[in-house]
Amino acid sequence: MKQFFLSVALLSAFFFNAQEKRPDNWFNLDPTNDKINGVSTERTYQELLKDKKSTTVIVGVIDSGVDYNHEDLKGVMWVNPKEIAGNGVDDDKNGYIDDIHGWNFLGGKDGKNVDGENLEMTRLMRKMKPKFEGKTEADFTTKEDKKEYKLYQEIKTDYIQTKDKFEGLYNQYKFLYEGLTNLNKNAKEQLKIESVDPTALLKFEPKDKADKQMKLVAIAMMKNSPAKNLDESIKEIEEGYDQFKSYVECGLNMDYDPRNIIGDDYTNPYDKNYGNPDCKGPNSFHGTHVAGIIGASRKNGIGMDGVAADVQIMAIRCVPSGDERDKDVANAIRYAVDNGATIVNMSFGKKYSWDKKVVDDAVKYAESKGVLLMHAAGNDHTDIDEVVHYPCKKYENGDLATNFMDIGALNWQPNEKIAANFSNYGKKTVDLFAPGVDIYSTVPEGGYKDASGTSMATPVACGVAAVLKSYYPSLTPQQIKKILIKSSLKTYKSEKVIKPGTKDEMIKFDKLGKNGGIINLFEAVKMAEKYTKTKT
């Protein structure tokens, strides 16, 4: 699932005091000079890297797709040097035809694409229900069956609770969306205006009970929202409405299975030659935002600046609206490795895994080829030491991948609010924290927007890692990981902060991650410089 913290926060924000606006470009700012907990990107380029030469680093973005024609991204997109665009031939013989900027593992050869997908718990329910529904543990004799039966009961309980939750949220959004749309239409007609701003809304005289109720809701919303009129407010509501509609109609619907669009042999986890070259896909908001954070052009003077100045973004689409499939994740990792990526951003995750082994094998493959994997810790304000967030760095045999990092999210607000309230955490699992709240970045069709999530924190960290690899190309994934951790700022390590998911429960920051560290490019470059000199 795209780890994008949006809709619940959006809904609550309409009815509480509007949040203070984040500083511009905050994730690139410096804690010392700018008094904001960014990663010191601007300071690093100005003070440490000004006269140094860099080498281009290919970063794989495994996500929902990337708008490779965006004004701030088209100059930094990876272009397959051995492939001729649009000729229908696999020129480089890598198994993928016309893969110019990357590949789409969620598409069919006819050009159709999967957008909405099941959650993994839904797929597991569909698979396991015929065998276990209506049975008791006593009906099974083998340890494997008994274990699987217990897992089914766990998933079933989770599925029912999740379905009830999302159906309730969907109904709230549907009520707001339809009610506000009707109010907007009626106000425009009565007042004979094109746009209903707060002043016009006060003049509107409702004719029925529904509009009276919605007028009060709209006034409260617009008071605490940056929206200038009802059209903008409805657009904001529409994002959540569409998201929860997708959960209800696709994510949690056991009768829905779009895999036939792709046409692969799904029973073969190592089948890899499927998909199409449409690495933008039908809904690339998430992946485009992630790509911009990593490497949006720092040279064109428009939009925003990514962290890394000398990268190429390889777009690999395997994350739908719903949960990604393990087979697709494994193939996406292998594609990135085989086509030259040395760092891979993975801003997605889920609670259950269909085939952990196939993903483990791909992570091991990346490990053997010297590729660093950066993974979002997740947005459920959950301890992922206790509740596994897949994919994960721990293999089935208990060993840990040495090329894998989990990243938690920071708020731009300091002191006790420094940990993002949605961020997952884990003393044993989360390696570092990076800026992840109100991050301004690229969105499809030439746009820019704020978004929040560990999905945004991870590409910040990924960008930092890419800068190290760019200026110090001999560094291995293990060395980059070590440098990022050792050089991280420990400003809040022993400080008490608000525990994610709570209103005011306090916890020491170093209890939320294994190092109590905040990633910092300035300190990482200084350490990398010393490290490479001592190793030569």
Cis bond before residue 130 (omega within 30° of 0):
no
Q: Which amino acid is at 514?
A: K
pTM: 0.94
Distances (CA, A) of 181 to 3, 124, 218, 239: 29, 38, 11, 14
Angle between helix 477-487 and helix 454-471 axes, rounded to 10 deg: 110
- Rounded distance between C-alpha atoms, residue 239 and residue 31, angstroms: 33
pLDDT of residue 531: 87
Task: Tell how far CA 283 is from the center of its chain.
Answer: 13
3-class secondary structure, 439: strand
The Cα–Cα gap between 350 and 343 comes to 21
Instruction: Indicate the SS3 state at residue 276.
Output: strand
Q: Which top CATH class is 23-117+268-535? A: alpha beta
- Report d(CA 96, CA 71) in Å as an integer: 26
Q: Are 374 and 363 in contact (CB under 8 A)?
A: no
Return the domain boundaries, the chain. Answer: 23-117+268-535, 120-251
CB 162 within 8 A of CB 197: no
- Single-letter code of the amino acid located at 338: D
Question: What stretches of 81-204 show up as alpha helix (H) in DSSP?
Answer: 120-132, 143-191, 198-203
H helix count then E strand count, the chain? 13, 11
Q: Which two tokens stand for residue 267?
A: 């029973």
**Alpha-carbon gap, residue 380 to 421, rounded angstroms:** 9
Closest CA to 2 of 458, 527, 361, 467: 458
Which structure tokens are listed for 367?
Answer: 């490990």
For 449, the enclosing helix (H) or strand (E) is strand 447-451
Cα–Cα distance for residue pair 135/246, rounded to 1 Å: 31
Residue 103 CB partners (closer than 8 Å, separation 6+): 96, 275, 277, 279, 316, 317, 332, 335
| DSSP codes joined into one string, 72-89 | TTTTTB---TT--TTSSS
Q: What sign does the dihedral 103-104-109-111 (CA atoms) show? A: negative
What pLDDT score was predicted for residue 4?
42
Q: Fill in the amino acid letter for 48.
A: L
Q: Cβ of 360: how many Cβ atoms within 10 Å?
A: 22
Spell out the per-residue pLDDT of the chain, length 536, in tens.
654 444 444 455 455 445 578 999 999 999 999 999 999 999 999 999 999 999 999 999 999 999 999 999 999 999 999 999 999 999 999 999 999 999 999 999 999 999 999 999 999 999 999 999 999 999 999 999 999 999 999 999 999 999 999 999 999 999 999 999 999 999 999 999 999 999 999 999 999 999 999 999 999 988 888 889 999 999 988 988 998 999 999 999 999 999 999 999 999 999 999 999 999 999 999 999 999 999 999 989 999 999 999 999 999 999 999 999 999 999 999 999 999 999 999 999 999 999 999 999 999 999 999 999 999 999 999 999 999 999 999 999 999 999 999 999 999 998 999 999 999 999 999 999 999 999 999 999 999 999 999 999 999 999 999 999 999 999 999 999 999 999 999 999 999 999 999 999 999 999 999 989 999 999 999 999 998 887 65
Angle, nearest 10°, between helix axes 120-132 and 143-191? 130
- Six token digits for residue 127: 């698979």
- Contact 444/284 with Cβ under 8 angstroms? yes
Burial class for 508, CB neighbours closer than 10 Å (0-12, 13-18, 19+) = middle
* Pair 125, 254: CB distance under 8 Å: yes
